[in-house]
Structure 1
Amino acid sequence: MKTKIFEYEGLHATVWHQHESGQLYWLSHGIIVIETELAQWAVTPGSVGWFPAHLLHRAWAPGSVKGHCLYLEPSSSVPFPPKAGIYGADAFVLVLLERICRSGHLSSSMDYLDTLLKVLGYEIAQLTELPLQLTLPEDRRARNVANELLKNPGCVLNQTQLAQQWGLSVRNLSRLFTQQTGLSFSQWRQQAKVVSSLQWVLAGLPVSEVASLSGYSNVSAYIEIFRQRFGKTPGQFKAH
């Protein structure tokens, strides 16, 4: 087990890579996005992100971010989830993570650390998984469309224009998104907008500006879509 404290002041990104160990992320400020071949996860303050060993991924932070990463060797005795996920962190889990980090630096006994890690694994299994995952299409052309919308959530191109830009018919684009993400193209685009907006919500921008950057001309509509996705308004999410 090892821990890493990270702090980036601006845009930060990694190349595609994988680790021999599992990774547990938690933040005190900002947002970090973890992307795998099939999905994208957003880790925010108040959550913990778990990513198993050998998972091919890349990470990027759209702005300033501070947090910790705990690297855990695969072990059958530590009951961490078999799949990646983002979980709402309660006060006990956050204190437990702090104790694990401190104990690792103080060279505590391995038995003590193993016990803390086991407790952490059991606690994470009880946490609520948060709706911070966005499934990505596998088809290369549909993935190009998805990447375009994730890079530019305020994109003004309509579905027909996006399909033509990447050599697809509107019908094929709709079919690929439905089959490979479980959402219609319009539903997926709406979810991508609201997930992308988290970076500006957490940066403290006015909600009207966040809505505009996310491609919403109606602030009330943006707030309602955000509430449907996360169970909170943007203001409540930031204050959490």
Structure 2
Amino acid sequence: MKTAIFEYEALHATAWHQHESGQFYWLSRGIIIIETALAQWAVTPGSVGWFPAGLRHRAWVPTHVSGKSLYLNPLSRIPFPSQPAIYGMDAFFLAVLERLFTNAPAPSTVEYQNTLLTVLRHETEHLAELPLQVILPVDRRARSVANTLMKNPGCMLDQARLAQQAGLSVRSLSRLFRQQTGLSFSQWRQQAKVVVSLQWLYAGIPVGEVASLSGYSNVSAYIEVFRQRFGKTPGQFMNGKSPAEQAKIRKHNNEI
């Protein structure tokens, strides 16, 4: 195994690349945007990213970010997932990652490392995938529309105008998005808005301004869409607390 500690300033970007081994990566600060040919992810503290070997990707950071990577032995026969994903991790999973990270340089601990990797593989099976992914269409014309909206989620152009700019009919654009992303165009656009908005939240921009940048004239509408997707308000998400946890804290405080 190999390990890496990374720390990047805002707007740092990497070129397209791939690794010969599988990679786990997790953050202690900030947010990192990962893109493959088929999707884009937003990785945040509290989540862990997984890339199988050989997957081409690139990354950029909208704000200062710190984190760690664990590169598995390419000869390992432990069957980690064959598809990339972003998972929500608990304290135990993080502890196993950190223990592997600490012991990775020691060649005399191979048996111990393999035991930890086996535990990690079993625990990965029980992790929930987080809704931090935006599937991208592969059709060149539909992809140009997707790229426009990912770069500027507050874009005020309607579907008809976007389709016209891409040389498509509204019906064709809708069909391509449904076939290649699994979502209707409006569903995809809503999802992209919320996921892209995370970069502004982590940059410390007020929620009202984030709502405007994301194309919402009403901050309450943005908060409600955010809650529907993540099960939390933007404030709860940034604090790492679920609505149930928030309610429990409030109840405890009221009883004191």
In structure 2, the gaps of 5 or more residues are: 241-256
Show CA shifts across 1:8-59 (max 9, x none): 1111222222211111110011111221111112211001010100112211
> What do the CA deviations read for 1:103-128 (whole angstroms, capped 9, x no partner)?
12455511111111111111111111
Looking at structure 1, the residues matched to 232 and 199 of structure 2 have their Cα atoms a distance apart, in angstroms, of 16
Percent identical pairs in the alignment equals 71
CA distance in 2, matches of 1:5, 1:151: 28
* Deviation beyond 4 Å, 4+ runs, structure 1: none
Letter in 2 for 1:135: I
2:15 aligned residue: 15
Counterpart of 2:148 in structure 1 is 148
Q: How many residues align?
A: 240
The alpha-carbon distance between structure 1 residues 108 and 29, as it changes in their structure 2 partners (threshold 3 A), is farther
Cα distance in 1, alignment partners of residues 104 and 30 from structure 2: 25
Residue equivalent to 2:251: none
Partner SS, residue 49 of structure 1: strand
Contact 2:62 2:203 in 1 (8 A): no
Say which SS state the counterpart of residue 56 (structure 1) adopts.
coil
For 1:211, the aligned partner's letter is A
The answer to whether 1:86 aligns with 2:63 is no
CA distance in 1 between counterparts of 2:199 and 2:75 reads 34
| Match in the other structure for 1:6 | 6
Deviations 1:106-156 (A, max 9, x none): 555111111111111111111111111111111001001101111111112
Deviation at 1:77, TM superposition (A): 3.4
**TM-score, normalised to structure 1's length?**
0.95
* Partner in structure 2 of residue 33 of structure 1: 33
Deviation at 1:74, TM superposition (A): 3.6
What secondary structure, in the 3-state scheme, does the structure 2 residue paired with 1:187 have? helix
Find the counterpart in structure 2 of residue 203 from structure 1: 203
In structure 2, distance between residues paired with 1:210 and 1:107: 48
Q: Partner of 1:102 in structure 2?
A: 102
Query: For residues 121-200 of structure 1, what are the structure 2 equivalents within 5 Å?
Result: 121-200=121-200
SS in 2 for 1:34: strand
Structure 1 regions of 5+ residues with no counterpart?
A: none
Partner of 1:219: 219
User: SS in structure 2 opposite 1:54?
Assistant: coil
Q: Helix, strand or coil for the counterpart of 1:109?
A: helix
Q: Secondary structure at the match of 1:197?
A: helix
Contact 1:77 1:118 in 2 (8 A): no
Say whether residues 1:55 and 2:55 are aligned partners.
yes
Counterpart AA for 1:72: L
1:57-79 Cα shifts (integer Å, max 9, x gaps): 21121221111111113456323
| Mapped contact 2:9–2:61 kept (Cα < 8 A) | no
Q: TM-score, normalised by structure 2?
A: 0.89
8 A contact 1:79–1:122 mirrored in 2 = no
